[in-house]
C-alpha cells in the first residue's frame, strides 16, 4: 500500500481523462413582450408630460400626445393624438383627441375620434362622444354617451351615390 510520505511508482500509465464535452449553451431567454400602450403612428411617438406639481390654466393645443399628472383647467385640443390623465391628474377641461385614457379625475366633455378608456381608478364627469368606449369595473362615470361611427366608415358612406327623386313624383300635400 502506498503512503503519502513514500514516493510512489513513477511509471504508472496515465489514466485517460474523459473527453470534455462542452455543455450546450442555455437557450436564450424568451423576449420580453411589453403590451402595446399606444396605437399612435410612429410620427407622433413623442409625448409631452405635465408633472404632478404643475398647474396649467388655459388652452393646450399641439401635435403630440400628452400625459397629465398635474392639474389642468381650460381646454385640451390634441386632435389625432392621445391624451392620458394619470392617477394624480385632475382635469377640469373639455378634451378633444384621437384617444383619451382616464386614470385620474376629469370634469368636462370629451370627444375622441377613436376611443375613450376609463380605467378602474379613473373618474369622468361629463359627456363622451367617441367611436368606442371602455369603462372598467370600479371606474366612476357620470354623463351621456354618444357613440359615433369611425371616420373611415362614415366617409365611405357619405361618398356613396345618392339616388335623386324623379321630378314626376312629388311629396303628398299636407
Residue spans of the domains in the chain: they are 43-142
Nearest 5°: the CA angle 36, 38, 40 is 130
Per residue of the chain (174 residues), what is the pLDDT tens digit? 556 665 555 555 556 565 556 666 666 665 554 434 434 343 446 899 999 999 999 999 999 999 999 999 999 999 999 999 999 999 999 999 999 999 999 999 999 999 999 999 999 999 999 999 999 999 999 999 999 987 655 444 444 444 444 444 444 455
- Count of CB atoms within 10 A of residue 153's CB? 10
Cβ contact 68:89 at 8 Å: yes
Give the DSSP letter string of 54-69. Answer: -EEEEEEE-SSEEEE-
The reported pLDDT for the residue numbered 86 is 97
pLDDT of residue 149: 86
State residue 169's pLDDT score. Answer: 45
Which residues contact residue 1 at a Cβ distance below 8 angstroms, ignoring those fewer than 6 apart?
A: none
C-beta of residue 88 within 8 angstroms of C-beta of residue 105: no
Amino acid at each position: 500500500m502506498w503512503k503519502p510520505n513514500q514516493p510512489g511508482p513513477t511509471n504508472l500509465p496515465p489514466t485517460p481523462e474523459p473527453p470534455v464535452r462542452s455543455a450546450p449553451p442555455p437557450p436564450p431567454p424568451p423576449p420580453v413582450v411589453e403590451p402595446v400602450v399606444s396605437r399612435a403612428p410612429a410620427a407622433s411617438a413623442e409625448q409631452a408630460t405635465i408633472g404632478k406639481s404643475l398647474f396649467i390654466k388655459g388652452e393646450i393645443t399641439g401635435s403630440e400626445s400628452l400625459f397629465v399628472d398635474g392639474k389642468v383647467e381650460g381646454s385640451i385640443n390634441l386632435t389625432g393624438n392621445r391624451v392620458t390623465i394619470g392617477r394624480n391628474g385632475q382635469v377640469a377641461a373639455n378634451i378633444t383627441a384621437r384617444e383619451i385614457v382616464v386614470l385620474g379625475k376629469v370634469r368636462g366633455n370629451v370627444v375622441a375620434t377613436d376611443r375613450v378608456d376609463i380605467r378602474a381608478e379613473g373618474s369622468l364627469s361629463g359627456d363622451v362622444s367617441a367611436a368606442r368606449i371602455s369603462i372598467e369595473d370600479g371606474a366612476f362615470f357620470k354623463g351621456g354617451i354618444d357613440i359615433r361611427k369611425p371616420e373611415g366608415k362614415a366617409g365611405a358612406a357619405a361618398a356613396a351615390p345618392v339616388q335623386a327623386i324623379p321630378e314626376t313624383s312629388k311629396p303628398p300635400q299636407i
